[in-house]
Chains A and B, each alone.
Chain A
Amino acid sequence: MVTKPLTKNIDMSRPPLDIAAYEASDGYQSVKAIADGLTPDNVMQIVKDSGLKGRGGAGFPTGLKWSFVPRGDSAPKQKYFVVNADEMEPGTFKDRLLMEGDPHLLIEGMIIGAYTIQASTAYIFLRGEYKVSEKALKNAIAEAYERGYLGKNIQGTGFDLDIILHTSAGRYICGEETALLNALEGKRANPRAKPPFPQVSGLWGKPTIVNNVETICNLPGILTYGVDWYHGLTKGNDHGTKLFGISGKVKTPGCWELPLGLPIRQLIEEYGGGMRDGLELRAFLPGGGSTDFMLPEHLDLKLDYDEIAKAGSRLATGTMILLDNETCPVGMVGNLMKFFSHESCGFCTPCRDGLPWVDEIFNEFESGCGTDKDLQILHEHVEYLGPGRTFCALAPGATAPLGSGLKYFADDFDRHIKEKRCPYRH
Chain B
Amino acid sequence: MQASVIASTATQARKLSAEEIKEIEHEMQLYPDKQAVGLEALKIVQKYQGWVSDESLLGISKLLDIPVSDLESVATFFNLVYRQPVGRNVILFCNSVSCWIMGSESMRSHINGKLDIDFGGTTENGDFTFLPVPCLGDCDHAPVMMVGDDLHRNLTEEKIDEIFSEYKSKE
Chain A contact residues, CB within 8 Å of chain B: 87-93, 95-96, 127-132, 164, 166-172, 183-189, 204, 245-249, 253-255, 285, 289, 319, 321-324, 327, 331-332, 335-336, 338-339, 342-343, 345
Q: Are A93 and B74 in contact (CB under 8 A)?
A: no
Instruction: Please pick, from A89, A170, A184, A321, the residue contacting B133 in the complex, using a CB distance under 8 A.
Output: A170
Contact with B137, one of A96, A164, A332 (Cβ below 8 angstroms): A96
CB of A169 within 8 A of CB of B138, answer: no
Chain A residue numbers with a CB within 8 Å of B73 are 187-188
In-complex Cβ contact of A91 among B30, B35, B92, B96 (8 A)? B96
Q: Which residues on B sit within 8 Å (CB–CB) of A168?
A: 39, 78
B117 within 8 A of A: no
Complex contacts, A92 vs chain B, CB 8 Å: 135, 137, 139
Interface assignment of B115: CB less than 8 Å from any CB of chain A: no
Of B4-12, B97-105, B121-129, B160-168, the one contacting chain A is B97-105
Name which residue of chain A comes closest to B98, CB basis. A247
Whether B133 contacts A335 by the Cβ 8 Å rule is: no
Partner of B151, one of A131, A324, A339: A131
> What number of residue pairs across chains A and B have CB atoms under 8 A from each other?
138
Nearest first, the 7 A-B pairs at minimum CB distance are A247-B139, A169-B78, A170-B79, A247-B98, A253-B140, A169-B80, A186-B36
Are B96's CB and A289's CB within 8 A?
yes
The reply to whether A87 and B137 contact each other, CB–CB distance below 8 Å, is yes
Within the complex, which residue of B31, B33, B137 is in contact with A130, where a contact is CB–CB below 8 Å?
B137
Instruction: Decide yes or no: A188 and B74 within 8 Å by CB, A127-B137, A172-B134, A248-B101 being known contacts.
Output: yes
Asked if B149 CB lies within 8 Å of chain A CBs, one says yes
Chain B residue contacts of A342, Cβ below 8 A: 1, 134
Determine if A88 and B137 form an interchain contact, defined as CB atoms under 8 angstroms apart. Answer: yes
Given that A95-B137, A188-B77 are known contacts, is A90 also in contact with B36, CB under 8 Å in the complex?
A: no
The answer to whether the Cβ of B146 comes within 8 Å of any Cβ in the partner chain is yes
Contact B96 A335 (CB under 8 A): yes
Q: Which residues of B are found within 8 Å of A253, using beta-carbon distances?
A: 139-142
A245: contacting residue among B32, B42, B95, B139, CB under 8 A: B139
B57: Cβ under 8 A from any A Cβ: no
Contact B38 A186 (CB under 8 A): yes
Most chain A C-beta atoms within 10 Å of own C-beta, residue among B30, B33, B70, B135: B135
Question: Taking CB as reference atom, which chain A residue is nearest B66?
Answer: A186
Can you name the residue of chain B whose Cβ is closest to the Cβ of A255?
Answer: B140
In the complex, chain A residues whose CB is within 8 Å of the CB of B42: 169
CB of B44, distance to nearest CB on chain A (Å): 11
* B100 and A332 within 8 A (CB): yes
Residues of A within 8 A of B36 (CB): 184-186
**Residue-wise interface mask of B (18-57) relative to A, using a CB-CB cutoff of 8 A (1 in contact, 0 not):** 0000000000001111111111101100000000000000
Is the CB of B13 closer than 8 A to any CB of chain A?
no
Structural contact, B80 and A91, CB atoms closer than 8 A: no
- Known interface pairs A253-B139, A342-B134; A335-B79 also in contact (CB < 8 Å): no
Q: Give CA–CA (A169, B70) in the complex, Å.
A: 16
Residues on B with C-beta less than 8 A from A95 are 137
Q: Chain B nearest CB: distance from A88 CB in Å?
A: 6
Q: How far does the alpha carbon of A90 sit from the alpha carbon of B100 in the complex, in Å?
A: 11
With A93-B138, A164-B31, A253-B141 given, name 11 new contacts (CB 8 A). Answer: A127-B137, A128-B43, A168-B39, A169-B42, A169-B80, A170-B79, A170-B80, A187-B70, A247-B142, A253-B139, A342-B1
Residues in A with CB closer than 8 Å to B149 are 131
Q: Judging by beta carbons under 8 Å apart, are B146 and A164 in contact?
A: no
Q: Determine if B16 is an interface residue (Cβ-Cβ < 8 Å).
A: no
For B35, the chain A residues whose CB sits under 8 A away are 185-187
Chain A residues with Cβ below 8 Å from B37 are 186
Q: Are B98 and A171 in contact (CB under 8 A)?
A: no
Whole-angstrom distance between the alpha carbons of A322 and B101 in the complex? 9
8 residue pairs from A and B, CB less than 8 Å apart = A164-B30, A187-B70, A189-B77, A249-B101, A253-B139, A253-B140, A338-B95, A339-B95
Find chain A residues with CB under 8 A from B70 CB.
187
Query: Residue B111 at the A interface, CB < 8 A?
Result: no
B139 touches A187 (CB 8 A): no
